[in-house]
């Protein structure tokens, strides 16, 4: 009797393991399909960047034969300076946003002052205003301040609009930290700035990394605002310069233009590869509560 029970349990375990294996195999297959679909635009961009103008017009889906590596030489020679401009502008703009967001988030999370909740709600209300509605007044303001065709015309609007979401994230994250840490710092004689710099900032590294990645990706891809306020090509960012380059000769050089797109993605890939761990920690920090 015991032998029959043991055999039945073994058979049931095998059937359960087989079902689990089938389910895991199906999940893996579906995941691979979605991953491949997500990478199709990347593969297509690399594929098209190696085609000549004649190959584009003859058969756009044919394999590049021969591959036109000179497209990258042409894009590098014309767009490298603009890519450096983008890296500098986006880095400085992101740094300003992160500093302002961290400070304002700490203020709303740990300090008490009159109309605190009302001011916080007013700040959040700014997120409800579509950015396209502020283009004209922002442009007129930059023009009257004499900042047109300078990088300040990019940094100041980016900082004023980009810190709102960052402030909300920092406020939520810092408010979730133990209040006893900050109370102990005050008892020991630490100023608010020291409590912010030595306690809040180190604890908020994951959420600050999240804000950095989000803003760098967003600012790096801006097109309309740099097109409006930056006139000189030597100061222009890569997202606009690629379009200018494609029409500078009177006809669109698709291969070189797409090669420029490939080059433009490299800084973002490098940046994300170094900050991905902190970024993932930041976006999952509120998922589990102790």
Q: List, for residues 133-158, the tens digit of each pLDDT value.
A: 888 899 999 999 999 999 999 999 99
- The Cα 270–Cα 21 span in angstroms is 37
Portion of the chain with pLDDT greater than 90, in percent? 18
Q: What SS3 state is found at 121? A: helix
pLDDT at 149: 92
CA-to-CA separations, 91 to 87, 131, 174, 213, 217, in angstroms, rounded:
6, 21, 24, 11, 11
Q: Are residues 164 and 213 in the same domain?
A: yes
How much is the mean pLDDT over the chain?
83
Same domain, 39 and 134: no
Supply the angle between the helices 238-246 and 254-283 in degrees, to the nearest 10: 160
Q: Is residue 56 part of a domain?
A: no
pTM value is 0.79
**In the structure, what pLDDT confidence band is assigned to residue 288 with cuts at 50, 70 and 90?**
very low
Residues 195 and 61: their CA atoms lie apart, in Å, by 59
Same domain, 44 and 76: no
CA 60 to chain centre: 31
Could you read off the pLDDT of 164-186 as tens digits, one per residue? 888 988 998 888 888 888 888 88
Q: pLDDT digits over 5-53, tens only?
A: 666 667 667 777 777 777 888 888 999 999 888 888 888 888 888 888 8
Do residue 190 and residue 256 come from a single domain? yes
In a domain, 59, yes or no: no
CATH number of the domain within which 118 lies: 1.10.3720.10
Task: Classify residue 170 by burial, with Cβ atoms within 10 Å: 0-12, 13-18, 19+.
Answer: buried
pLDDT of 290 > 60? The answer is no
- Specify whether the CB–CB gap between 255 and 51 falls below 8 A: yes
Q: Based on the fold, state whether residues 236 and 149 are members of the same structural domain.
A: yes
What residues make up the domain containing 246? 71-283
Report if residue 237 sits inside a domain: yes
């Amino acid at each position: 009797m015991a032998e029959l029970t043991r055999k039945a349990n073994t058979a049931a375990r095998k059937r359960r393991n087989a079902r689990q294996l089938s389910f895991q195999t199906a999940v893996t297959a579906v995941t691979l399909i979605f991953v491949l679909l997500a990478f199709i635009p990347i593969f297509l961009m690399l594929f098209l960047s190696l085609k000549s103008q004649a190959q584009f017009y003859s058969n756009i889906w044919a394999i590049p034969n021969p591959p036109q590596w000179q497209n990258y030489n042409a894009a590098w020679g014309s767009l490298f300076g603009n890519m450096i401009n983008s890296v500098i502008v986006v880095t400085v703009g992101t740094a300003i946003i992160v500093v302002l967001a961290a400070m304002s988030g700490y203020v709303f999370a740990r300090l008490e002052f009159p109309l605190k909740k009302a001011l916080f709600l007013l700040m959040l209300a700014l997120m409800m205003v579509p950015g396209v509605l502020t283009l004209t007044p922002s442009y007129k303001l930059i023009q009257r301040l004499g900042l047109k065709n300078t990088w300040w015309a990019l940094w100041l609007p980016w900082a004023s609009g980009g810190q709102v979401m960052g402030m909300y994230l920092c406020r939520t994250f810092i408010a979730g930290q133990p209040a006893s840490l900050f109370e102990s710092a005050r008892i020991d004689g630490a100023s608010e700035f020291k409590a912010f710099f030595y306690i809040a900032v180190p604890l908020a590294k994951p959420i600050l990394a999240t804000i950095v990645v989000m803003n760098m990706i967003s600012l790096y891809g801006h097109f309309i605002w740099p097109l409006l306020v930056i006139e000189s090509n030597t100061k222009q960012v890569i997202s606009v310069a690629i379009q200018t380059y494609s029409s500078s000769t009177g006809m669109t050089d698709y291969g070189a233009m797409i090669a420029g797109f490939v080059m433009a993605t490299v800084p973002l890939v490098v940046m994300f590869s170094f900050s991905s761990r902190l970024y993932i920690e930041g976006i999952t920090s509120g998922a589990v509560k102790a």
